[in-house]
């Protein structure tokens, strides 16, 4: 593609994946966000919970200065606590809803344009019950967000039987769910992730075309799924080019092509498309980030 990618999308980075020591809302949050804010390759950033109010205040000042679009990833609020938004136990479901409502409050505080979350584990015998619990929770979250402003709520589509084992899940159930929620709420959409496609055993077209009308956000990344004995097996988001990995330049080209074909990548309202890459072992986060940038540069040139 000859035209600049910035004409079609806001290139983002998921801060808490690139710097996983910050995933629990603690650690070197301000310093690492500052490092990203200084890099003009990125015009979007995805942050998560920041437990210390003073650190939140300092990060907010950094982000205001940076002129980056901010998104809020609430996935760590569930993944690091074991809470399940589609828990068929009502007490458990309400705890998950409560932490995500806190995430909505924090997203507004930080000036985020949207907040993303994920569905939880389920039992095949009570799958429909879990699905209905998810719908109920999502309605509560969308309603809560709408009362306070224009924050967009997005559910990220994850694997359903390998690693996270989330109910959403396979594309047809994602479509049913999105249709049901968007019939009532205009502040909801789906988040797709290149790194999850091999885990879902779906191609880019298979995973994206049926839900094309509901996609509001996208991630770029890699995974290892060929053999459970391989390092970084599952949903570990290793760097592009990782041994045994599924996604590299060619797969990213195809993913971007499909997103371009459906009009998701566009010049009128460029969406956030973020790297979700995580250092493996003792890898240097800054080199992993540079790897991702090189991969996108090459993919865009081939698009």
Mean pLDDT of 277-294: 98
What is the pLDDT, as a whole number, of residue 55?
98
Best CA proximity match to 300, nearest among 256, 258, 261: 256
Query: In this predicted structure, what is the pLDDT of residue 246?
Result: 98
Average pLDDT for 228-251: 97
Using one digit for the tens of pLDDT, what is the confidence trace for 11-30? 999 999 999 999 999 999 99
- The domain spanning residue 48 has which CATH number? 3.20.20.150
What's the confidence (pLDDT) of residue 1? 86
- Looking at residue 41, what is its pLDDT? 98
| Mean pLDDT (whole number) for 273-297 | 98
The count of domains in the chain is: 1
Q: Give dist(CA 271, CA 105) in Å, integer.
A: 23
**pLDDT, tens digit, 9 for 90 and up, residues 160-216:** 999 999 999 999 999 999 999 999 999 999 999 999 999 999 999 999 999 999 999
Res 9: pLDDT: 98
List the domain range (segments joined by +) for residue 135.
5-302
274 band by pLDDT with thresholds 50, 70 and 90: very high
* The pLDDT of residue 56 is above 90: yes
For residues 255-266, average pLDDT = 98
The predicted model scores a pTM of 0.97
Q: Say if CB 47 and CB 110 are below 8 A apart.
A: yes
pLDDT of 134 higher than 90: yes
What confidence score (pLDDT) does residue 61 get? 98
The mean pLDDT of the chain is: 98
pLDDT digits (tens, 9 = 90+) for 64-119: 999 999 999 999 999 999 999 999 999 999 999 999 999 999 999 999 999 999 99
């Amino acid at each position: 593609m000859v035209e600049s990618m910035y004409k079609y999308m806001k290139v983002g980075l998921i801060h808490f994946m690139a710097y996983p020591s910050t995933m629990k809302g603690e650690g070197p949050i301000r310093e690492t966000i500052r490092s990203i804010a200084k890099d003009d390759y990125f015009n979007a950033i995805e942050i998560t919970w920041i437990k210390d109010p003073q650190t939140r205040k300092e990060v907010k000042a950094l982000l205001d200065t940076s002129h980056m679009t901010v998104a809020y990833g609430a996935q760590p609020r569930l993944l690091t606590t074991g809470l399940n938004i589609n828990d068929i136990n009502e007490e458990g479901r309400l705890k998950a809803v409560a932490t995500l409502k806190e995430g909505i409050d924090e997203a507004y505080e930080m000036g985020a344009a949207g907040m993303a979350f994920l569905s939880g584990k389920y039992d095949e015998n009570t799958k429909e019950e879990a699905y209905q619990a998810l719908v109920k929770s999502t309605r509560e979250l969308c309603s809560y967000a709408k009362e306070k402003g224009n924050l967009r709520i997005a559910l990220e589509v994850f694997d359903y039987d390998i690693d996270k084992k989330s109910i959403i899940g396979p594309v047809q159930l994602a479509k049913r769910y999105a249709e049901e929620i968007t019939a009532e709420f205009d502040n909801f959409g789906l988040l797709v992730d290149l790194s999850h496609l091999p885990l879902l055993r779906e191609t880019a077209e298979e995973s994206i075309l049926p839900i094309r009308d509901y996609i509001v956000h996208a991630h770029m990344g890699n995974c290892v799924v060929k053999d459970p004995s391989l390092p970084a097996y599952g949903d570990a988001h290793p760097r592009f080019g990782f041994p045994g990995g599924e996604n590299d330049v060619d797969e990213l080209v195809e993913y971007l092509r499909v997103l371009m074909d459906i009009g998701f990548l566009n010049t009128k309202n460029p969406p956030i498309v973020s790297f979700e890459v995580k250092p493996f072992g003792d890898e240097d986060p800054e080199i992993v980030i540079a790897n991702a940038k090189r991969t996108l540069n090459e993919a865009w040139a081939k698009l």
